[in-house]
Structure 1
Amino acid sequence: MGDHGTADAATDGGPVSHIPVLLAEVLDALRPKAGETIVDGTFGAGGYTRAILGRGADVVAIDRDPNAFANAERMAAVFEGRMRAVHGRFGDMADLLPPLADEGVDGVVLDIGVSSMQIDEAERGFSFSKDGPLDMRMGASGPTAADVVNRMKAGDLARIFNFLGEERHAGRIARAIETRRAERPFARTLDLAQLVGKVVGRAPQDRIDPATRVFQALRIFVNDELGELARALAGAERILKPEGRLVVVSFHSLEDRIVKRFFRDRSEAPSTSRHLPDAPARPLTFEARNRAVAARDEETAGNPRARSAKLRSGKRTAVPPRGEAEALDFADLPLVADLPAAGA
């Protein structure tokens, strides 16, 4: 879960009270400077954007969250002429930024996941420790987490919890949800969190709330976060100039797997075997770092949300973009679009 700083910092251009995760490492990989244009695809509360502006580069900030976009607009007014706010999904960046996308940009930075600003607002429904409506939408449209929990078949819920949340008790939780919702639908975050806690239990030494994985899975599913990430990687490949830098910070193994697979596919020649015919040559669109960068001990000590953060980066070559990027195999997962109608 990313931490782009605070809303106050974003609106007034002043100092942030929370340093964004891996900020020094992001700036080291991004290398922004005067005369360049950087796309911050996940503005949040503006921590990365403000640091990039501080290095002299111009910024185009994208966010689909209405509150974050409003903050971005206010911040853009402070840095008039050097920053532009764009309302939309970062996966659509190549379509959101004409003619800039045709001219090319010098860098793209993505901080994947929910921001601390969203978590801290109980009414957004992301938190299992604060009571609020069971929403979880980063934007303002589409089905909510309550829609998914109350209308999805138990078998589909189990697959969502298992795959997107890596929850060992996915089947038991899904069946318990199915039983309870027949009596009373779920509408509040703590209602769902308490049911999950009863099903899973919690040992005294456990630091992780038993509802963590279920809430994570619902958030990823409702917002199509993995598909969005795959589209964003392909979009960044399309709009970056030669020598342009792509920097991605992820907080979950599934996200990191997509980013790792993308950079490997775009920067490494296919392996060959003397027992198999030669694989066709693939155009290599990136030069990528071989290893992920993790947060340092001093950062994780002050910010627990940085513990799972991984940074991967690459530099664009002059080869034309290759197009679509793979996400993962979603064959066994339902789609939000397939959500049964209310009362079905």
Structure 2
Amino acid sequence: MKSGRGVGPTDAAGGPARHLPVMLAEVLAHLAPKDAGSYVDGTFGAGGYSRAILEAADCRLMAIDRDPTAIAGGAPLVAEASGRLRLVQGRFSDLDTLAETEGFTPLDGVVLDIGVSSMQLDEAERGFSFRRDGPLDMRMGDDGPSAADLVAELEEAELAHILFTLGEERMSRPIARAIVRARAEAPITRTGQLADIVSRVIRAKPGEIHPATRTFQGLRIAVNGELDELVTALAAAERALKPGGRLVVVTFHSLEDRIVKTFLANRSKAPSASRHLPQAEGPVPSFRLLAKGAVESGSEETAANPRARSAKLRAAERTEAVAHGEGDLLGLRPKPMQRRGRR
């Protein structure tokens, strides 16, 4: 995993963030970089994964990040890699198109580290952290509506839907109600403002996560379309990988892991057959699982790096079957709210 990424649920909403690669040994073991191979690091961050891949084999690597700051920060590693590293600003959901444009396809491996980077959390002006007051932004890139825009414009029911489905916040309705009341008095433009509003609804308890953790998570995922991005990226990797190419994904909360788990289960499932229909029906598996279930961090790593506690790694190897297409991925995408019109 890349330094500066791999931020778990507590950190993703604004907790302490250290630039430590999470499950780096496990990632390299499953990715198995080889000389002359072509790889994509879909979430560059501070470049921890990318550096490790380039050191593990004499290979080529294309690294992608939505954040122009991350791309600029990777310039020293590009120079050090002597032509083996190409940095591209973009979305990892477009990794197949970007890799083809840059002459990297077909790929020997793709690694994705899902979540906000600790560098982004460290910068108060990015608006990801409720522990560091700053503009309520939360955008990983430099385009689209910010968290402040959502808080200002969405109806109460829409806000509650985001907090419940994407933030897994059980108190979503009273929090949304409190946000609507507060914005009627003054615009909510700062992370500190929003954190205070949530903290008046949910009282902090010793030993538990900050009351605003899930609210910030839900808004961040909504602002960046993270779950849709993940679903699209998995299908893009399926198209771009060559037979024997490997896909390694590390996630940090249940919503992401559920998507990856379901995708790989569907793509690795053998066609069904019965005594009435002896010839198996259905698509041929496009992936072979490399690990049964999710791989989790060891006790030494979790003791040294609290972010690793919630990390789950899933990995699979591409077969020779054609890509399945995206028709069966609709169920993996978050269900949109049924809007009833403005009041």
Same fold (TM over 0.5): yes
Cα distance, 1:110 vs. partner? Answer: 0.2
Q: Deviations over 1:33-88 (max 9, x none)?
A: 22111100000000000000101222110001010111223321221211111110
Alignment of 1:121-270 (within 5 A): 121-203=123-205, 205-269=206-270
In structure 2, the residue corresponding to 1:159 is in which secondary structure? helix
In 2, Cα distance between the equivalents of 1:339 and 1:226?
A: 25
- Name the structure 2 match of 1:11: none
Match of 1:294 among 293, 296, 299: 296
In structure 1, the residue corresponding to 2:317 is in which secondary structure? strand
Is the Cα–Cα contact under 8 Å of residues 147 and 223 in structure 2 kept in the other structure?
yes
In structure 2, the residue corresponding to 1:95 is in which secondary structure? helix
In 2, Cα distance between the equivalents of 1:50 and 1:278?
A: 47
Cα distance change, pair 231–200 in 1 and its aligned pair in 2 (3 A): same
Cα distance change, pair 279–181 in 1 and its aligned pair in 2 (3 A): farther
Match of 1:310 among 309, 312, 315: 312
Q: How many matched pairs?
A: 327
Is the Cα–Cα contact under 8 Å of residues 246 and 314 in structure 1 kept in the other structure?
yes
- Name the structure 2 match of 1:41: 42
- Name the structure 2 match of 1:330: 334
The runs of 5 or more residues in structure 1 that have no matched partner are 7-16
Is the Cα–Cα contact under 8 Å of residues 285 and 321 in structure 1 kept in the other structure?
yes
Q: TM-score, normalised by structure 1?
A: 0.89
Partner amino acid, structure 2, of 1:330: P
Q: Deviations over 1:73-115 (max 9, x none)?
A: 3321221211111110000111112256784010000000101
- Name the structure 1 match of 2:78: 76
Cα distance change, pair 154–277 in 1 and its aligned pair in 2 (3 A): farther
In structure 1, the residue corresponding to 2:62 is in which secondary structure? strand
In 2, Cα distance between the equivalents of 1:228 and 1:251?
A: 15
The runs of 5 or more residues in structure 2 that have no matched partner are 6-17
Cα distance, 1:278 vs. partner? Answer: 8.6
In 2, Cα distance between the equivalents of 1:72 and 1:326?
A: 35
In structure 1, the residue corresponding to 2:100 is in which secondary structure? coil
State the superposition RMSD in angstroms: 2.5
In structure 1, the residue corresponding to 2:243 is in which secondary structure? strand
Partner amino acid, structure 1, of 2:304: G
In 2, Cα distance between the equivalents of 1:197 and 1:141?
A: 29
In 1, Cα distance between the equivalents of 2:120 and 2:313?
A: 22
Cα distance, 1:210 vs. partner? Answer: 0.5
- Name the structure 2 match of 1:10: none
In 2, Cα distance between the equivalents of 1:101 and 1:320?
A: 21
- Name the structure 1 match of 2:3: 4
